[in-house]
Amino acid sequence: MHPCIYSIRLSFPVLAYSEVYGGDWTDASTGKVTRVAIKCLRGVTNNEEELEKSRKRLLREIRVWVPLEHPNITPFLGVVNGFGPLPAMVSPYYSKANINQYTLDNPDVDRLPLILGVARGLKYLHSLGLLHGDLKGHNVLIDDDLSPRLADFGRSRIVERRGFTTAFTGTGRYMAPELTVINDDISYTSPTANSSEDDTLSSETTAILDPLITKKSDVYAFAMVVIEILTSKLPFFYLRQEHVVVILTQDGKRPDRVRCLPTHFADEIWQFMEDCWHHDPQARPEMDAAVPRLEKMQSNRLRVAWEEVVSVPVPGSATKP
């Protein structure tokens, strides 16, 4: 990365373990200026032990990210110094922000191509034996061609490798039930007419995270991103507390179709989501199978739309008796 780069603070969302700035990358040979995003690890201190942990986390993310090349993956451009004790990672800056904000700003946008793009990006990662580990709407960016690109590979891992640790930093709503173990001190009562499920759990309820992520837990998270794209709302938006979501999903609860209205889901896409968030990980489809299902939905819809267009009579044209 050429050192001729300056930064300003930007207002787009902060990722889980990072601070994101904006800057201009100037190519010294051509003078071309490219707008870039600069991602710095958050909470890095000068404590040598903590600094070493952060350095390892940074190197792990870079190793995963560098070789990735796909239309639905945010490309890695390089690193730059001057943003703290560790190098910062540089990628293209996308002015459309993340997929949550994009669908909110563009309520009439066709959601199926966005879903398909996310699916293709995740399928690509899985084809390389990689897991994303933190798939959610805030980690899906929209590029200048309006295509979704997966981002934030700080929790990505080689398939089924242990040593993954996390915390509730906005990910509990996307977390497969097999990734958490709820402690035994749970106080849960059935909701009454005047209470919500959010109010039926003790404030002392806690969840312990199991460190094994898999392709199937990525598929579960993908299903939650699908409903997020369709509704422009967080999964389980009607539940305030994230640990409550974790407990209820372990009990087999999933986003309520009726509560997601006025969004009207076709039965086909709802069944697709149900398959992807199935409680049994082995019953969830591989992304190799999920992508063709989405492509078929898109193809069928385009075919129906085309048939409707060609069946409309041309004004003034004669019809045979």
Asked if 117 and 206 sit in the same domain, the reply is yes
Query: Residue 18 belongs to a domain with what CATH number?
Result: 3.30.200.20
User: Residue 272: what residue type?
Assistant: F
Mean per-residue pLDDT over the chain, rounded: 78
Query: Both 168 and 121 in a single domain?
Result: yes
- Beta bridge partners, 183, equal none
Tell me, yes or no, whether 175 and 66 share the same domain. no
The answer to whether residues 23 and 120 belong to one domain is no
The answer to whether 80 and 3 are in contact (CB under 8 A) is: yes
Residue 70 lies in a domain: yes
In a domain, 56, yes or no: yes
Q: 36 or 14, which is more confident?
A: 36
Q: Is residue 150 domain-shared with residue 201, that is, in the same domain?
A: yes
CATH number at residue 175: 1.10.510.10
Structural contact between residues 103 and 232, judged by C-beta atoms closer than 8 angstroms: yes
pLDDT score for 182: 59
In tens, the pLDDT along 265-282 reads 788 999 999 999 999 999
Domain limits for position 32: 5-92
Q: For residues 115 and 176, state if they share a domain.
A: yes
Determine, yes or no, domain membership for 204.
Answer: yes
**142-157: per-residue pLDDT in tens?**
999 999 999 988 777 6
Clarify whether residues 137 and 71 are in a common domain. Answer: no
Examine the domain organization and report whether 54 and 123 are in the same domain.
no
Please report the pLDDT score of residue 138 as a whole number.
92
Is the pLDDT reported for residue 197 higher than 90?
Answer: no
Indicate whether 118 and 242 sit together in one domain.
Answer: yes
Number of domains in the chain: 2
Confidence grade of residue 321 (pLDDT, cut at 50, 70, 90)? very low
Q: Examine the domain organization and report whether 297 and 182 are in the same domain.
A: yes
Lowest mean pLDDT among 57-66, 214-223, 280-289: 57-66
Residue found by looking up tokens 């969830």 in the block: 284
In Å, how far are 2, 28, 68, 250, 292 from 78, measured between CA atoms? Answer: 9, 15, 13, 40, 34
For the chain, what is the radius of gyration of the CA atoms?
22
Question: 122 lies in a domain?
Answer: yes
Write out the two tokens for 211: 């460190």
Report the C-alpha gap between 274 and 260 in whole angstroms. Answer: 14
Flag whether pLDDT at 125 surpasses 80: yes
3-state SS assignment for residue 7: strand
Same domain, 155 and 74: no
Does residue 283 fall inside a structural domain?
A: yes
Quick one: residue 180, left, alpha or beta (phi over 0 = left, psi -120 to 50 = alpha)? beta
In a domain, residue 49? The reply is yes
Is the pLDDT at 10 greater than 60? The verdict is no
Residue that wins the pLDDT comparison between 43 and 53: 53
- φ/ψ region of 320 (left if φ > 0, alpha if ψ in -120 to 50, else beta) reads beta
312 domain residue, yes or no: no
Side-chain half-sphere CA neighbours of 217 within 13 A: 26
Which of 92, 118, 147 terminates a domain? The answer is 92
Say what the pLDDT of residue 225 is: 97
Whether 220 and 103 share a structural domain: yes
Q: Is position 157 within any domain?
A: yes
Check residues 126 and 54 and name the one with the higher pLDDT. 126
Q: What is the pLDDT of residues 46-89, one digit of tens each?
A: 778 878 888 888 888 888 899 999 999 999 988 888 777 888 88
